[in-house]
Structures are given as structure tokens and as C-alpha cells.
Amino acid sequence: MASISLKNVVKRYGHGKTAVPVLHGINAEISDREFIVIVGPSGCGKSTLLRMVAGLEEISGGDIAIGGRVVNNLEPAERDIAMVFQNYALYPHMTVFDNMAYGLKIKKVPIAEIKVRVDKAAKILELGHLLERKPRELSGGQRQRVAMGRAIVRQPQVFLFDEPLSNLDAKLRAQTRIEIQKLHRELGITSLFVTHDQVEAMTLAQRMIVMNAGVMEQFGTPEEVYHTPASIFVASFIGSPPMNLLRNAPNSKPGTILGIRPEHPTSPRQAGRCAWTRSSCWAPSAWCTPPWGVTA
Amino acid sequence: MVDRSPWLTVLSHAVMILGVMVVAFPLYLALVASTHTAADIVQAPMPLLPGGEMWANYKAALFGSGKLGSNTNVVHMMWVSFVTAIIITVGKIAISLLSAFAIVYFRFPFKMLCFWAIFLTLMLPVEVRILPTYKVVADLGLLNTYGGLTLPLIASATATFLFRQFFLTVPDELVEAARMDGAGPMRFFKDVLVPLSKTSIAALFVIQFIYGWNQYLWPLLMTTTEDMYPVVIGIKRMVGGGGEASIDWNIAMATAILAMLPPAAVVILMQKWFVKGLVDTEK
């Protein structure tokens, strides 16, 4: 198991003057056994960041370390990680067993041990009866589990998930979320999970990274992100319906914006009593979003 | 669509049967001719029903005693044809797979130039470049060898292009998953790409085998000794040498029928493969 540290990670496409910066210096320290969700709108660079950790994208600047070892120039296979892809990327011509065993075969793990490890993973994921099938003979949910199985058998230091649930139906998605949680509790492997779905982010994350336009807007627990958003973007991105943003709220400083969560008291009488407008507020801060001002 | 009427059914069947008869009649004639004695065939109305000489004719064709040379027989010529066709087919597929793999998955200098160079050769069939090719092969001392028969025909833009198009449809995630699993490029090629292109390979095998088997112009120039004649050239020699009267039509027809069998067998055997490949498409 391992910690992950991102130090001023930069990604640019192209060279010289025409280079397009995509990630503008991401800093994050992820401790061992943590489950981190990276969330953001599409195009914000979250998948790019994950793929840089995976070693599938070059790192243009900064350092990525896994377990204290800088992995910038290592091949994906040498980084001791496993990844679950959005479309699962199972080898279509191999059976479920071979799909899971392929990485181990390349590593020249003895056949007997491969069998033990695959059987164990299959048992955890309830794939035991499907081992001889080909991916096309499986349902979407089963394929997803095989993709997870392929990650588990490698016994990596870090799991990387690239929107693994977005091809599942709503019910299965909720169920799989729980399974991923359980799996994480059982195996305790440091995980990075990319999603654009904030429900997934809020329910799965121990801590979450909110990203926008190549910048890390906030890094904190779901509660922190929800109750004390660090920027207007985070405030409006997290929460459905989103936080109300009042530009000229009564009794607030000019040039500041007031944010109110929709579930918080909204009648003028109650609102007038809240902590962020009067010092004599009676409302517990847990359900009353404190003020935060940003010059408009 | 049009309503089904019995007349339409009769008409369409009539047209179909007529078409099949037009196509199949020459084959039937060849088959009939191969079962008569040479004297019977040249009679004014040629017999249209099979005769009783089949065994003798085919034996003569297969093991020699035709007018072509003394020790050359169809068995040997078919062997030459078969070896040539197999070398051409396997060579073409192997080279095309590798070059398409390089073009699709690797970044190297002048990659696009290579691609267009390969693509341009599509426009230059063997017939166009036959003189320079002959010169090269002759200078290399490859006349009357299997190398000379096959090498100039192996490089193939068509197959490279076909595999390139196929490789482009293979999802990138598969490459990435293989990289995560620690598979190097050649390992990925061998374990993932080649098994996935199985059905394309089968289709190409059929096409190229027939292409190699039916080669006429190139072996005609290339081979001057009888032991290197492919069966197509053998037939040509049988019917093209001397006057009309000296041709053993029965033997020539038996040879033609025999020459048809291997390509037909390849089509029939491989058809199952690529039809299966077309039916269960991978997602």
C-alpha cells in the first residue's frame, strides 16, 4: 500500500510557443489507504491527471510519487498500479480467467499462484461461475466486475478508476458503488477514482479533489467541500440543486457574494437570523453555511 | 416491397437458373471432356454426356504421359502452385500485419511518407512493373526458383491497408490495458492484435491464396524449366504447343478440373471462418 504525492504537476500538449497548458500545477498529498475521488465537469483535466498517475500520459512538469518513489519516467507496468477503464477494455478474445490472468502471466507468476489469485478475486466479485466465458457473453455489470477483478489480482499499491460506473444503469451503479466501498474497506488499497457524477463523488470519497479548467479548486472531505466551498465554482458545482448565490444580499458587505444552500431556511425572517447576516445567530453552523466573500 | 405473386417467383427463378447455367456450362463441358478419349472429343458434335474414360484420363494427367515433357506431371505442377500460393499468402499476411502495426501504433520519422509510399504501390500492379521486376529477379539469380516466383508478389498495399483500417478500430483502451498489464509492443501484437484480426486474416488468406494460385503472367516469364511450372502454366503449355490436332483435350481438361480443386477447397473450408467472424462481432 502506498501514498501518492502530486507536486506541482503540469500537463501541456504541444511544444514551445504553441503548447496548450491543460493542467496548471496540481498539488496533493494522498495518504495510504485513502479513497480519493477526483470530480469536475468534462474537459477539466481530471482524466488526464489520472492517466498521468497511471503513466499513460507524459508528465510535462512536476513530480508524481507513489509510495515515496518518483514514477515520472516509469512504464505503467512498473508503477505497481492497476486501472479500471470506463469501457472496461477487456480483451475480447480471452476468457474471463485469461483476462484476469494476463498481467500475471506476463510477470511470469507461477501458474498455480495465478490460479489461486484469480479464484480469490473471482470469489470476492462473485465471478466464479463466469470464468470460462468471453467478455461478449457477459452483461455490462459483469464486465465491470471482471475489469475490477483484473485490477485486484495484480495486488497493486494503487487502484485507479476512470469513470468505471458511467456505463451502468442507475440501479446497478448504486449497487456497484457499495461494492467498491466494501472492496476498499476489505483490501485497504489507496484509490483514485475519477468521475463527473457528484453523487458518486460525495458518497464514495473520503476526500475529494474538485477540479475546474485544469486547476484544483478544492481538496477536502465531502462535508468540507459541501459546507465550506472554497470558490464560487465549487459552490455551484457541488449540490443539486446548486447553492444560491446572492450578489447583493441584505446586510452583506458590498462586492461580496452570499451563498445559501437550498435546504437552509429561506424565509426572510429566518434568513435574517442566520450567522452570516447577524452576529446573534442561533442556527448551528452545521446547517447554516457561513459567509464567504469573493470580489465579484 | 412488391407483393409476392407466383409469376414473379417463377420468373426470378428462371432468370437465376439461366444465370447459373451460363456460368456452369463451361465447367460442365470441361468435366465431360475430361471423361472421354481424345478422339471422341474432337468429333463434330462434342459429346455432352460423361464418357467412361475418366479414370484413365485423370491418371494420365496426374502422373504424366501427357504431351508436356517426359517427367513433368500434374501432381508436381500442383505442388509448385501450392507452395507458391502458400508462400505468397503467408508472406503477404505476415508483412502486411507488421507494416500496418508499425504504421498505426508507432511514431517514427517519415511515418506518413512510408504510408503514402505503400499506398502508391496500390496503383502499380505486377503487370506495370514487370520489366524492372524481371531485371531485378534475373540479376539476383532467382529465375526458376520459388524465391523468384513469390518474392515480387509478396509486398501488398491492399492487405496493409486493410489491416491498418482494422487496427484503427481497435479501441485505444485495449492498448493501454495491455501496457498496464506489462505487455511490450510485440507481446501486445502477438497476444491481442493478431487474435483479434483472425477473421480479417482468414478473409485475406482466401483472397490471396486464389491470387497466388492463379498467377499467370509472372510465372510465364519467370519459369523456363518444366520442374518449376505452376499448374496454370502447365495448362497453357498443354493447349498452346503445336497444332490443334496434337492437343490432348481430355488430359488438358482433366488438368483444368484438378487445378480448380485447391482454390475451391480453400474457399469452402475458410468460408466457415470468416462468415463466423462476420456474424459475432466483438464489442
The string of pLDDT tens digits covering residues B98-123 is 999 999 998 888 888 888 888 887 77
Name the DSSP letter for residue B124.
Answer: -
Contacts of A83 in chain B (CB under 8 A): 176-177, 180
Contacts of B192 in chain A (CB under 8 A): 91, 93
Taking the CB of residue B165, how many other CB atoms lie within 10 A of it? 12
Q: Out of A78, A85, A102, whose CB is closest to B181?
A: A102
* Interface with A, mutate which of B181, B186, B193, B198 (most A CBs under 10 A): B181
| Residue ranges with strand state E in chain A | 4-13, 20-30, 35-39, 61-66, 69-70, 81-84, 158-162, 190-195, 207-212, 215-220, 244-246, 258-260
Residue A290, pLDDT above cutoff 70: no
Q: Out of A56, A102, A106, whose CB is closest to B176?
A: A56
pTM: 0.78
HEC string of B215-236 equals: CCHHHHHHCCCHHHCCHHHHHH
A149 to chain B, minimum CA–CA distance in Å? 13
Test B283 with A77 for CB contact under 8 angstroms.
no
- Distance, in Å, from the CA atom of B21 to the CA atom of B26, rounded to the nearest integer, reads 9
pLDDT at B282: 47
Q: Out of B173, B180, B196, whose CB is closest to A77?
A: B180
* Interface with B, mutate which of A52, A90, A93 (most B CBs under 10 A): A93
pLDDT confidence band for A1 (50 / 70 / 90): low
Q: Out of A76, A87, A136, whose CB is closest to B180?
A: A76
The string of pLDDT tens digits covering residues A28-57 is 999 889 999 999 998 898 999 999 999 888
Per the structure block, which three cell numbers stand in for B10? 417463377
Test A83 with B181 for CB contact under 8 angstroms.
no
Q: Locate the chain B residue with the closest alpha carbon to A153.
A: B181
Peptide bond into A241 cis (omega under 30): yes
Residue A289, pLDDT above cutoff 70: no
The string of pLDDT tens digits covering residues A163-183 is 888 888 888 888 889 989 988
Instruction: Walk me through the domains of chain B, giving residue ranges and CATH numbers.
Output: 78-233+260-279 (1.10.3720.10)
Extents of the domains making up chain A:
4-80+156-227, 93-155, 243-296
Name the DSSP letter for residue A128.
Answer: G
The string of pLDDT tens digits covering residues B40-88 is 887 878 888 888 888 888 888 787 655 554 456 788 888 999 999 999 9
Helix (H, G, I), strand (E, B) or coil at A220: strand
> Exposure pattern of B169-196 as b/e (b: 16+ CB <10 Å)?
ebeebbbbbbbbbbbeeeebbebbbeeb
- Distance, in Å, from the CA atom of A37 to the CA atom of A178, rounded to the nearest integer, reads 15
pLDDT confidence band for B202 (50 / 70 / 90): confident
Test B180 with A91 for CB contact under 8 angstroms.
no
Contacts of A144 in chain B (CB under 8 A): none
Mean per-residue pLDDT of chain B: 84
Helix axes A111-124, A96-106, angle to 10 degrees: 130
Test B180 with A54 for CB contact under 8 angstroms.
yes
- Distance, in Å, from the CA atom of A5 to the CA atom of A67, rounded to the nearest integer, reads 8
A51 to chain B, minimum CA–CA distance in Å? 10
- Distance, in Å, from the CA atom of A207 to the CA atom of A40, rounded to the nearest integer, reads 14
Q: Locate the chain B residue with the closest alpha carbon to A78.
A: B182
B28 to chain A, minimum CA–CA distance in Å? 44
B129 backbone dihedrals φ, ψ, rounded to 5°: -105, 25
A161 to chain B, minimum CA–CA distance in Å? 12
A116 to chain B, minimum CA–CA distance in Å? 18
- Distance, in Å, from the CA atom of A258 to the CA atom of A274, rounded to the nearest integer, reads 12
pLDDT at A235: 85
The per-type count for chain A, helices as H runs and strands as E runs, is 9, 12
Q: Which residues of B touch A (CB under 8 A)?
A: 171, 173-174, 176-183, 187, 191-192, 195-196, 198, 280, 282-283
Q: Locate the chain B residue with the closest alpha carbon to A139.
A: B283
A91 to chain B, minimum CA–CA distance in Å? 7
Test A86 with B174 for CB contact under 8 angstroms.
no
The string of pLDDT tens digits covering residues A253-273 is 777 777 777 776 544 444 444
> Exposure pattern of B21-48 as b/e (b: 16+ CB <10 Å)?
eeeeeeeeebbbbbbbebeebeeeeeee
Q: Which residues of A touch B (CB under 8 A)?
A: 54-56, 75-78, 81-83, 85-93, 102-103, 106-107, 135-136, 150
The string of pLDDT tens digits covering residues B119-147 is 887 777 778 888 888 999 999 988 888 98
ipTM for this prediction: 0.78
Contacts of A81 in chain B (CB under 8 A): 180
Half-sphere exposure of B90 (CA within 13 A, CB side): 6
Test B180 with A92 for CB contact under 8 angstroms.
no
Contacts of A90 in chain B (CB under 8 A): 177
Helix (H, G, I), strand (E, B) or coil at A158: strand
The per-type count for chain B, helices as H runs and strands as E runs, is 15, 0
Test B282 with A93 for CB contact under 8 angstroms.
yes
Kindly compute the dihedral angle of the four CA atoms of residues B119, B120, B121, B127, in this order, to the nearest 10 degrees: 140
| CATH superfamily, region A4-80+156-227 | P-loop containing nucleotide triphosphate hydrolases (3.40.50.300)
Closest C-alpha among A91, A49, A77, A28 to residue A213: A49
Contacts of B196 in chain A (CB under 8 A): 92-93
Test B176 with A89 for CB contact under 8 angstroms.
yes
Residue A243, pLDDT above cutoff 50: yes
